[in-house]
A = this chain, B = another copy of it.
Amino acid sequence: MNERISNEKLRGKIMTADEAAALIPNGAQIGFGGFTGSGYPKELPQALANRIKAAHERGEEFTVNAFTGASTAPELDGALAGVDGMHYRMPYQSDPTLRKKINDGTTLYTDIHLSHSAQLVAEGFMGKLDFAVVEAVRITEDGNIVPTSSVGNNKTYLDMAEKIIIEVNSWQSPDLEGMHDIWNGYLTPPNRPIIPINNVGDRIGDTFLTIDSDKVVAVIETTDRDRNSPFKPIDDDSRAIAGYLLDFYANEVKHGRLPKNLLPLQSGVGNIPNAVLDGLLHSDLENLTSYTEVIQDGMVDLIDAGKLAVASATAFSLSPDYAHNMNENAKNYRKSIVLRPQEISNHPEVIRRLGVLSCNGMIEADIYGNVNSTHVMGTRMMNGIGGSGDFTRNAYISAFVSPSTAKDGAISAIVPMVSHVDHTEHDVMVIITEQGIADLRGLAPRLRAQKIIDNCVHPDFRAQLQEYFDHSLVTSKAKHTPHDLRHSYDWHLNFIENGTMKLSHYR
C-alpha cells in the first residue's frame, strides 16, 4: 500500500499510466501541471503520446490542446510534440521538439503573460477544460493534494477541469509539505478581493490544493525525478553584466532611492541571473528578499549564507545536485521559501506594491529601448514572454540583460529596430550588456539612443549603429523617434541572407 495516498476512495483509482491515458479522447483540452521543468506529470503524457502515435499509425486523427504552468520537460512537451499530438499549446514552452513544431506550423501556440493564463481559463474564454493532470507529493486523508516542486496553474486547472488525473510521485520529498501557499480566495471580477500580501513571505492560504475528489478518474504512482539541467560555470560576460547591475543598485542606495537591503528581487533563469545571485553572495548586502517566479541554485546559496531572508516563487528550477539537496532538506527551507500559484507569484498588484527590482534576459533591444524577448529575426519563436512582462511592467526598476553579441559575433543584441516587441520603450528602464549599462529612466528617445550606442553595443557594431541613428536623424522628417523604415531591418535581413548582421556597406 502506498502510504502517500491516504484517501480510501482515491486509492481505488490507482491504475497504470497506459490505463489512465486510455481515458483521454482525441481533441481533449488538458491542463497540465508543471513550471520550468519542475512538478510536471511525468508518465501520463508519455503514455498519451504512445496512444496518439498508435492512433496515427491506424490513420486516425488524435491531438490534444495542452495548457500548462510554463515550460515542462521532454517527458511532457517533447513526448506529445514528438508524435504531432499537440494541436494547441499555451502559455510558455522551451522544449526543443515542441519549439520545432511551433515554428514549422504544426502546433498553434499562444504566448501569454503567465499571470494572465489562469484568468483566461477561469472565466471560460478558452472553452471547457476536459482534464487536469497534476503531480502530487501525497493525497491527504480528505482527498486533497499536496503539490510537488511547482504550483503553477494547478489550482485553476483542478478547479475548472471536468476530470482529474493525479500522479503521486515518491521521488518528491514529503518534506515539501508546508512550503506551498494556496489561496482559495482569488475569484473572478466582480468578486475579486484584495490580495493580502504585504511582505514577501506572507502566507495567506492552505498548504494543499483542495479538489473535488469525485472528479478524480485516475491516480498513477511514479518515482521519476524532475528533469533539470546543471548550470554552466559563470563566464566573464555574465560576471561583467552582474557587476554593472549590482553597482547600479549600490548607486541607487547611495542616493537614497533604494533601501540598504534593496527591494524584493526578481530574476529570470539562466547564466546571467545566476551571476547576479553569485555577485550578491559575495557582496556586503544583507537581509535580501526575492519576489520572483522560480527558485534557482543561487538563491539557495544565498539562503544558506544567511543573506536571503525569504523568497517567494511558483516553482523550483534547480540543477540536479541542488534538487537532491532540496529533497533532503526541504524541512529546513520551509521557513524561507513560499511557493504560490503563478497568478499570485506574478501578480501586478503584489509586484507594484512590493516595488520589485526585475532583471530579465532578452534576445535583442533597439536604440529606443524596445525589447524583443521571444522572436529570433522577428518570426521564429524561442520560448515565450513568460513572466518577464508581469514583472517588467510593474517593477520599481526594470532591467534587461544580454551579452552584446550572439552566434560568435555575427548577431548584435542591440539593433536599429527590434524585429518583435515584447516590452515597449515605456517599460524598459535599464539595459545592460558586458559592454556597459544604460539607465534610460526619464530620457527622451534621442538621448536613450545615444546612451545605448555609447554604453551597450559591441565595438564591432558601434559605428554602424551610430551611422543608422545619424542617418535617421537626417532623413526622418519627424525628429522625436528618428527611424529610416527602409533600412530598419537591414541588419536582420543581412543575417538571414548572409549569416551576419555586419553590413559591408550602409545602404
Spell out A's residues near B (CB within 8 Å): 88, 90, 102-105, 108-113, 116, 119-120, 123-126, 188-190, 192-194, 196, 198, 255-257, 259, 263, 347-349, 352-355, 370, 375-381, 385, 389, 393-394, 396, 419-427, 441-444, 446-447, 476-483, 485-486, 488-489, 492-493, 496
Contact = CB atoms under 8 A, between A and B. Distances in A.
Given A352-B349, A379-B476, A480-B379, A125 B370 contact: no
Contacts of A355: 188-190, 192
A200 to B, nearest CB: 10
A41 to B, nearest CB: 23
Given A104-B479, A189-B353, A192-B355, 9 more contacts: A123-B396, A125-B442, A189-B355, A190-B263, A192-B352, A192-B354, A347-B352, A379-B478, A424-B424
A427 B392 CA distance: 14
Given A103-B480, A125-B442, A486-B489, A198 B193 contact: yes
Nearest to A476: B379
30 contacts: A88-B444, A102-B480, A105-B446, A108-B446, A110-B442, A110-B444, A120-B442, A124-B255, A124-B256, A124-B257, A126-B441, A189-B263, A189-B396, A190-B259, A190-B354, A347-B352, A348-B393, A348-B394, A375-B481, A378-B483, A379-B483, A380-B477, A380-B480, A389-B426, A419-B483, A422-B426, A477-B496, A485-B492, A485-B493, A486-B493
Given A348-B348, A353-B349, A486-B493, A422 B424 contact: yes
B194 A194 contact: yes
Given A380-B480, A421-B421, A485-B419, A111 B493 contact: no
A113 B476 contact: no
A317 to B, nearest CB: 22
A interface: dominant SS: loop
Contacts of A486: 489, 493
B478 A103 contact: yes
Contacts of A112: 426
B113 A426 contact: yes
A378 B482 CA distance: 8
Contacts of A378: 481, 483, 485
Contact of A352 (B123, B256, B348, B420): B348
Q: Which of A109, A123, A190, A419 has the most CB of B within 10 A?
A: A190
B108 A444 contact: yes
A103 B479 contact: yes
Nearest to A487: B489
Contacts of A381: 478, 480-481
Contacts of A120: 441-442
Sorted nearest first, the 10 A-B pairs with minimum C-beta distance are A189-B355, A380-B478, A105-B479, A108-B444, A421-B421, A485-B489, A349-B349, A381-B480, A379-B478, A103-B478
Contacts of A446: 105, 108
A475 to B, nearest CB: 10
Contacts of A496: 477, 485
B485 A377 contact: yes
Contacts of A255: 124
